[in-house]
Structure 1
Amino acid sequence: MCYPFRHRIYTAAIAGLSPGPAPNAQNPQAAHFTYRPMLNPFATPAAGLKGPGATSTARVLALTALDAHGDDSLVVVPRPDAITLFGLAEDELLDDDTAGLFIPGNLDAALAYLETELAIREKSGVSQGRRLLLVADCAQEAERITALLTHHPDAVFAVLLGHWTGDQATIDDEGLVEAPPAVASNFPSHLPAMSRTEARDRLMKVLDRHKGTRKPPSRRRSTSRRG
């Protein structure tokens, strides 16, 4: 139970592919073991999500980016979406030492940050900066987000809820995935649910594990990616 999030994912994936011993009756935790498939939040420039299971999938993608790709990426989640996805309070995680995670006040502020950061990179010739991942309800900003993704390929990515105008994967309330060909290869056929309570717990564990072990990513200038 103390495994890091990604180690639990790997263990679960292996368990799902090979037979294992019968559960130990003296270990009640075995009955609560859940399978978390590996997802790549950077597999496609924009992962549009809809359906009853969309929010749960967004949680998993955001946590995967933070935990498995925290050394070379920055996850940007507007405050309203951080509240929806992780149950954060309005004044929670306001400090600047949260490695790999940036929570601006709203979507407009998030997009302004991304636009400024990417413009600075372009002007200074930086080509190997941290990958930027926006996780948000796209609201009325689909056109603005599309422009960012189009003009900065391989630098910015997005996990988008709401009325996204591009391709979307539909996740139903049982976790079954239906998606067009351009998106289908990025998802397994079935995704387990992740509640806001579980997501918050995992988020805090990931941030606590990273705290003090790395230099916080700059919010104002590019940070080189590490190989």
Structure 2
Amino acid sequence: MRTSAAPTPVRAREQADELESRPSSLQPVLLLGLLLPAAAAMCYPFRHRIYTAAAGLAPAPAPAPNAQAPQPARFTYRPVLDPFVTHAAGLKGPGAMSTARVLALTALDVHGDDSLVVVPRPDAITLFGLAEDELLDDAPAGLFIPGNLDAALAYLETELSIREKEGTTHGRRLLLVADCAQEAKRITALLARHPGAVFAVLLGQWTGDQATIDDEGRVEAPPAVASNFPSHLPAMSRTEARDRLLKVLARHKDTQKPPPRRRSTPRRS
């Protein structure tokens, strides 16, 4: 009987080397399989941030053809001004007239219930464009328009003198808005005698401290005066001031209580 020859030593050695090499070739594959999940878990936050940023930068969808474009919001800036914060506010410069309009309208609109604004007729024409005979018959509450500055000062002096004699301490605050003309000394004496009861917004050659307002609304003033104004004021034309004045007066007229009527008594025969 013929028997097969035993494998040669060379063939046996090659098979042994092949068997030894197989486990070593699987090691990188196993190691890579362990590292991939860890790497994916570590990269998820970064990938999430990238996706989020990409979504934020995505262009907004185009509006529908028939959709109406949104109208831009319109804001009208009005600074908070208090015409009664100082006894005398002297104004000069290209923007002085505009600031006087704002102060007078603020007194009427915000403080109309407990104050009276006195504007001589020539100043009412210059500031608000009123006609010579406008607002004569229907005198609005909160506003008094005498014929000239002398008449305005005479009214203020008489009113304050009556209050002083009667001991009235809670009367309506009085605000004079006018060009001081040649009456600076008279106005100064009136303000000094009745502190807290009468105030003034003065244009022209005022002898006290003045705020200078340029044509763009920038304010320059001494420290004692500058604290009463913002650093910038908006312009207000005479046309706009007239419209606002008439609206304020109409609103005050609608909210006023009608004057009490006298009871009629039967005549005696």
TM-score range relative to shorter protein = 0.7 to 0.9
- Check if 1:27 corresponds to 2:39: no
Alignment of 1:161-200 (within 5 A): 161-200=203-242
Deviation readout 1:162-219 (Å, 9 max, x if unpaired): 0000000000011000000110100000001000000000000000011142259xxx
Which residue is 2:86 aligned to?
A: 44
Q: What secondary structure does 2:255 align onto?
A: coil
Q: Distance in 2 between matches of 1:66 and 1:140?
A: 26
Task: State the AA in 1 paired with 2:71.
Answer: N
Q: TM-score, normalised by structure 2?
A: 0.69
Deviation readout 1:144-178 (Å, 9 max, x if unpaired): 00001000000000000000000000000110000
Q: 1:84 aligns with which of 120, 126, 140?
A: 126
Q: Distance in 2 between matches of 1:193 and 1:203?
A: 16
Q: 1:141 aligns with which of 167, 177, 183?
A: 183
Higher relative contact order (CA 8 A, sep 6+): 1
Which residue is 1:99 aligned to?
A: 141
Q: What secondary structure does 2:241 align onto?
A: helix
Query: Unaligned stretches of 5+ in structure 1?
Result: 1-23, 217-227
Percent identity among equivalent residues?
A: 86
Which residue is 1:20 aligned to?
A: none
- Larger Rg belongs to: 2
Count matched residues: 191
More helix by share: 2
1:215–1:97 Cα change, 3 Å: farther
Runs of 4+ deviating beyond 4 Å: none
| Conserved 8 A contact 1:50-1:168 | yes
TM-superposed CA distance for 1:42, in Å, is: 0.1
Q: TM-score, normalised by structure 1?
A: 0.81
Q: Distance in 2 between matches of 1:106 and 1:120?
A: 22
TM-superposed CA distance for 1:100, in Å, is: 0.2
Alignment of 1:143-162 (within 5 A): 143-162=185-204
The two structures, once aligned, show a CA RMSD in angstroms of 1.5
TM-superposed CA distance for 1:97, in Å, is: 3.6
Which residue is 2:154 aligned to?
A: 112
